[in-house]
Amino acid sequence: MPEASTTIDIHYEDSKTARSIMEAISPDNLDAPEGIDVAAKVEGNTLKISISCSRDIGSLLSTVDDLLSCIQAAESAIDKIEK
């Protein structure tokens, strides 16, 4: 089966927030199912996430959906802490 991949770039106001979000999602990335690789890094104020999948495209889409949900939860938590 051919490999599918995608990259997500999310820009934040500062690098501290980008790093905090990356650290919040890192545990989920370690438990990715077999055939799915997730890598994240921060460049400046941007969180860059690369996902590759040797499984079906549905697995890639599910992974992206799950990851975006985790990011949204982390952003919400950070927003509440800062207020």
* DSSP H helical ranges for the chain: 15-30, 57-82
| pLDDT for the residue numbered 7 | 97
| pTM summary value | 0.87
For residues 10 and 68, give the distance between their C-alpha atoms in angstroms, rounded to a whole number.
10
pLDDT digits (tens, 9 = 90+) for 38-78: 999 999 999 999 999 999 999 999 999 999 999 999 999 99
For residue 51, count other CB atoms closer than 10 A to its CB. Answer: 20
The top-level CATH class assigned to 4-82 is alpha beta
Task: Give the full edge-to-edge strand order of the sheet including 46-53.
Answer: 4-11, 46-53, 36-43
